[in-house]
A = this chain, B = another copy of it.
């Protein structure tokens, strides 16, 4: 194989007989483990310092590998960045879809507050959970959202679910314009991400200690967004 190995799946393998046979080649297994170490290191570095301020050499050092290994596992710095960003989209989208479906199944739970909570909570939980890589990813997303140049990399991955939530809001406010709904959902997302990105500022303004996790802000955040959406769509 020339470069950039270990594709996730062969989609439909030529011999349909070994559809889900697990790989046992130790070289590939070791390669995948190395690749994951590199991606984890890149995730932490990009989250801490941003794309441009991080060098491939720093990532290699953080991952405990040599420079060439990073180049072997991703063909460019840009592609490495893209891979890091895309890696965790699926779990988030699934969690948000599940919560939306549960809300729609329960009928009476379909409120603005419920929708906002369903959209925000998975991210808050991942950002507050025990996995430091998820925390790094959450900070990375919060960092790049205000940069169109980078956010374009994830927009197409997150927008489908956002549109599903917009449709749900539309059932509650059939007269609301698409533009207002899009604006309010964007404000909601920005509020969510700012909780992750700006906890230091909050504690600075309130002269208090930094609270434990983003999840601690769940109540006030959801109230803020839900109250804001209802006020706006109520018209004035």
Contacts and interface: CB of A to CB of B under 8 A. Distances in A.
A227 interface: yes
Contact of A207 (B151, B178, B231): B178
Given A146-B143, A206-B181, A187 B224 contact: yes
A203 B232 CA distance: 18
Interface stretch (A17-25, A71-79, A81-89, A190-198): A190-198
A52 interface: yes
A92 interface: no
Contacts of A145: 146, 194, 197-198
Contact of A201 (B155, B221, B225): B155
A131 interface: no
A50 B148 CA distance: 11
A224 to B, nearest CB: 4
A232 B236 CA distance: 18
Interface in A167-216: 177-187, 189-191, 193-195, 197-198, 200-208, 211
A230 interface: yes
Nearest to A198: B186
Nearest to A54: B52
A188 to B, nearest CB: 9
A185 B190 CA distance: 14
Nearest to A235: B223
Interface stretch (A2-10, A28-36, A102-110, A158-166): A158-166
Contacts of A162: 205
Contacts of A190: 190-191, 193-194, 198
Contacts of A15: none
A50 to B, nearest CB: 6
Nearest to A217: B183
A146 B198 contact: yes
14 contacts: A50-B50, A52-B52, A145-B197, A148-B201, A155-B201, A182-B205, A182-B208, A183-B206, A187-B191, A189-B194, A223-B232, A224-B229, A227-B229, A227-B232
Interface of A: 49-50, 52-53, 142-143, 145-149, 151, 155, 159, 162-163, 166, 177-187, 189-191, 193-195, 197-198, 200-208, 211, 217, 220-221, 223-232, 236
